[in-house]
Amino acid sequence: MNSNVAALNTLQTLVVIGNGMVGHHCVEQLIERGALGRYQLHVFSEEPVRAYDRVHLSEYFTGRDAESLALSDAALYQTPGVTLHLGVAVLEIDRARRQVLTAQGSVAYDTLVLATGSYPFVPDIDGAEGDSRLVYRTLEDLDAIRRAASHARRGVVVGGGLLGLEAANALKSLGLEAHVVEFAPRLMPVQLDELGGLALKSQIERLGVGVHLSRATQSISAGEQYRYRMNFANEQSLETDLIVFSAGIRAQDALARQCELQIGPRGGVVIDDQCLSSDPHIYAIGECASWNGSLFGLVAPGYQMARSVAAQLCDQDAEPFIGADMSTKLKLLGVDVGSIGDAHAHTPGARSYQFIDEASASYRRLVVDATGKQVLGAVLVGDNSYYDTLLQYAQNGIALPAEPASLILPSSSGAPTLGPGALPESAMVCSCHNVSKGAICSAIDGGCSDLAQLKTQTKACTGCGGCAGLLKQVFEHELIARGVSVDKSLCEHFAFTRQELYALVRVEGLHSFEELLARHGRGHTGCDVCKPAVGSILASCWNQPIMDASLVPLQDTNDTFMANMQKNGTYSVVPRIAGGEISAEKLIVIGQVAKKYQLYTKITGGQRIDLFGAQLHQLPQIWGELIEAGFETGHAYGKSTRTVKSCVGSTWCRYGVQDSVAMALLIEDRYKGLRAPHKLKFAVSGCTRECAEAQSKDVGVIATEKGWNLYLCGNGGMRPRHAELFATDLDDATLIRYIDRFLMFYIRTADKLQRTSVWRESLEGGLDYLKQVVIDDSLGLGEELEAQMQRVVNRYECEWANALKDPDKLKRFRTFVNDERADPSIHFVEERGQRRPIMATELNLIPVTEELA
């Protein structure tokens, strides 16, 4: 009997119903707190996709897809011990037997967490159906709105609250004329006072959104100009093609009602301070829970409940849930709106200061207590830059300045801002994840010395992200206060930055990892952080073949095998197609190779062809055939020059003013094989129409009548950045000289894995400084940088051609060193006429915890 097996048998079953933001946060917290040591976790989600960011739902219409809105990597729910049942609704809870029933059967639980959230409230209105009864809550709802909008001109949102205005924004971004219909006499009646509502209305109307207040919709009938007509109580009407109801939410407590848990007066599962329902085995968290008669429709209180429950289930100290601060800071339709604490001055004796700017439709209200010493609340419309300071005053009871009004007056009047040093330890920096200034300080005292690590460790700023600025300020202030110099060590083996190691390698002429480690590092081995970083530095400096015996162990797997590993362990192969120019003969060879080895082929964004599905032992055969036909490696696997994209230019195009293909070939031939801190992409456009999209590249070149304009440090990918215009009307030689200097300066000074865009943003002195270094040669480095580049260029050799000549280097390209067979567990299926990897589900495999024999 194995101890692991024994442990498995003693696991309890914990079921979480609902995979919205709060349910997901609970799962994350449970895993983080070690719950998988004691529970098997089953998560049921009615929706077919895993938890996504509902706060930023409207971005679904401006380019974000379901995957990018997802709150976690798919991997989280593949953690052994966690099973996510997507698209499986729980139909019934049997409390007596402690089981949940779904269409696919029942699951017994020891403990149950309800995180079923809420559903949109739609008032009973005659004629509301189909496109006149849309709601705004899930991705499916958004798909329905998008479908309805495709043949619509005008859209109406019923409800002028927070979600209603979000929905109006969504309609606007779909290109519709948007209107908001609100029952109350002002917008956002919960958060704003009358003047605040007026200011918001005025700002929103300026954006072209119609606002109709004090309107009760009685019925919906067929329209004349538009599809529907909304008939209001006062005999007025409004015509529209679609109607989205966003008139409030109701707790989704259907399951709780079915199993007869106690339900609150306004709906919702009644919970105590421990988030426990009337059944001691069932917790409820988030919008489906009713605490002290109140429901909480914001994400931060839901997260508080999720944390509390996760801590209790792991036998850790849990903070009881005792209500929540409902302060909010939002950008609605591009207008800043903030509401803090007692915004309506309901506290007896409360007094207000108000600031109104009708010209810009800005409004601010500060509510203070009867003694005039403490902030009770605030309303902000038009400018949220006051929010952080006011919130800190309100939450931490900081004494007001002598002239409280200065806190909401325009900043030119010299209002005192609250520096991070003035905040008490208890000050809440991140309210989504409940991170106080004190928690940040103790993380720093515990050795945390970089912002990314701080975020991972404390989770601060990983919720809505609104505290990013404050977090950075507090972090830097506290570091300086401790006299800490920021630790930029590469890893535990080198107490140097990448830049410092680069200088050591060059100055001391070191050619191997072992030499560098022996002289300047610790230990004998290194790790997967420092080895590839040093491998890259050695390649940038000396450009030796990366398959040399001493360099092989340094490379990340893709560099080691000079191909790109895919999810099933096979590789993709990308031969260089410089400038995207290729002859018919070479295309045929690629086709023949793909056919012979049954490779899946796809055209890349960089104007090349990617061949997928090669096993390790096939790589030398494939490359043998490609090199025979005149191809060379495309370095698609390296942190190195990738492609130079180009348009056809003046040779063919009636608009082209220079030969962009010839320039692309010149650039690609010069810099191919250059290894850098990160991958490098180039493009050359033959005229200002910019068909090669050069302004999204690290180095972009655009033809002019007189020569070339050079753009630097652009980036596509996850965080797009336009390249900046660096120099204009250059001749060929000057263009190449500038690029030489720029690239070598980047290689010399960038951090590990830092793209040029990020490097440029962190470069002190910015673009002007870069111009001084490259154009004016202010550091006197110009010739040295050029000479270094020339050495790398002179040393270029196709790595695959080099490896194929050396039987020793080919030794590694064996799936098994003692057997000729291929990996028998790699399977393909055919799709659209090509092979692709088989998916786990198609193998009828259910991922299970590895059982030990």
Partner 1 sequence: MNLSNSPRANARPALWQSVCSQHDLVRNSGVVVWLDGAQVALFYLPQAEGKTLYAIDNHDPQSGANVIGRGLVGSLKGELVVASPLYKQHFRLEDGCCLEYPQQRLRVWPVRLHDGLVQVGVANEH
Q: How far apart are CA 571 and CA 563, in angstroms?
A: 6
Q: CA geometry: angle at 360 spanning 356 and 366, to 5°?
A: 30
Phi, psi of 7 (to 5 degrees): -60, -40
Site for partner 1 in 19-38 (CB under 8 A): 36
Q: What is the DSSP string of 732-750?
A: HHHHHHHHHHHHHHHHHHP
Closest distance to partner 1 from the beta carbon of 187 (Å): 47
The type of residue at 178 is: A
Q: How far apart are CA 827 and CA 836, in angstroms?
A: 9
The size of the interface with partner 1 (CB under 8 A), counted in residues, is 52
Contact 135, 148 (CB under 8 A): no
Q: Answer left, alpha or beta for residue 285, where phi above 0 means left and psi between -120 and 50 means alpha.
A: beta
Contact 716, 692 (CB under 8 A): no
Query: Does residue number 457 form part of the binding site for partner 1 (CB under 8 A)?
Result: no
Query: Does residue number 74 form part of the binding site for partner 1 (CB under 8 A)?
Result: no
Per-residue binding string, partner 1, 553-572, x by CB under 8 A, is x-xxxx-xx---x-xxx---
Residue among 532, 579, 673, 707 that touches partner 1 (CB under 8 A): 532
Alpha-carbon dihedral 155, 158, 161, 164, rounded to 10 degrees: -40
Which C-beta is closer to partner 1: that of 318 or that of 838? 838
Closest distance to partner 1 from the beta carbon of 527 (Å): 3
Which C-beta is closer to partner 1: that of 371 or that of 818? 818
Q: How far apart are CA 343 and CA 337, in angstroms?
A: 12
Q: How far apart are CA 53 and CA 463, in angstroms?
A: 9
Q: How far apart are CA 34 and CA 37, in angstroms?
A: 6
Residue among 129, 776, 830, 850 that touches partner 1 (CB under 8 A): 850
Query: Does residue number 81 form part of the binding site for partner 1 (CB under 8 A)?
Result: yes
Q: How far apart are CA 584 and CA 521, in angstroms?
A: 52
Query: Does residue number 10 form part of the binding site for partner 1 (CB under 8 A)?
Result: no
Q: Distances from the Cα of 379 to the Cαs of 145, 184, 367, 387, 776, in angstroms?
A: 32, 18, 8, 9, 52
Per-residue binding string, partner 1, 770-809, x by CB under 8 A, is ----------------------------------------
Which C-beta is closer to partner 1: that of 372 or that of 447? 447
Contact 609, 601 (CB under 8 A): yes
Closest distance to partner 1 from the beta carbon of 554 (Å): 8
Which C-beta is closer to partner 1: that of 532 or that of 677? 532
Query: Does residue number 816 form part of the binding site for partner 1 (CB under 8 A)?
Result: yes
Contact 58, 173 (CB under 8 A): yes
Phi, psi of 642 (to 5 degrees): -100, -85
Closest distance to partner 1 from the beta carbon of 675 (Å): 17
Query: Does residue number 78 form part of the binding site for partner 1 (CB under 8 A)?
Result: yes
Could you tell me the two tokens for 236? 């007025």
Contact 314, 113 (CB under 8 A): no
Closest distance to partner 1 from the beta carbon of 30 (Å): 13
Closest distance to partner 1 from the beta carbon of 500 (Å): 20
Query: Does residue number 489 form part of the binding site for partner 1 (CB under 8 A)?
Result: no
Q: How many residues does the chain have?
A: 853
Query: Does residue number 818 form part of the binding site for partner 1 (CB under 8 A)?
Result: yes
Helix (H) or strand (E) holding 474, with range, is helix 468-481
Closest distance to partner 1 from the beta carbon of 833 (Å): 25
Query: Does residue number 819 form part of the binding site for partner 1 (CB under 8 A)?
Result: yes
Closest distance to partner 1 from the beta carbon of 530 (Å): 8
Per-residue binding string, partner 1, 491-530, x by CB under 8 A, is -xx-----------------------------xxxxxxxx
Which C-beta is closer to partner 1: that of 670 or that of 809? 809
Site for partner 1 in 35-64 (CB under 8 A): 36
Q: Are strands 39-45 and 12-17 parallel, antiparallel or unpaired?
A: parallel
Residue among 101, 318, 324, 552 that touches partner 1 (CB under 8 A): 552
Closest distance to partner 1 from the beta carbon of 425 (Å): 31
Query: Does residue number 852 form part of the binding site for partner 1 (CB under 8 A)?
Result: yes
Which C-beta is closer to partner 1: that of 72 or that of 384? 72
Which C-beta is closer to partner 1: that of 77 or that of 631? 77
Helix (H) or strand (E) holding 14, with range, is strand 12-17
Nearest to 41 by CA among 59, 54, 51, 28: 28
Could you tell me the two tokens for 269? 């599962």
Closest distance to partner 1 from the beta carbon of 623 (Å): 17
Total H helices, total E strands in the chain: 25, 38
Q: Which residue has the tokens 């829970």?
A: 289
Residue among 812, 828, 834, 835 that touches partner 1 (CB under 8 A): 812
Which C-beta is closer to partner 1: that of 282 or that of 563? 563
Q: CA geometry: angle at 647 spanning 645 and 648, to 5°?
A: 130
- The stretch near partner 1 (CB under 8 A) out of 200-208, 357-365, 586-594, 819-827 is 819-827
Interacting residues with partner 1 (CB under 8 A): 2, 4, 36, 75, 78-81, 492-493, 523-532, 549, 552-553, 555-558, 560-561, 565, 567-569, 616, 811-812, 814-819, 821, 823, 825-826, 840, 847, 849-850, 852-853
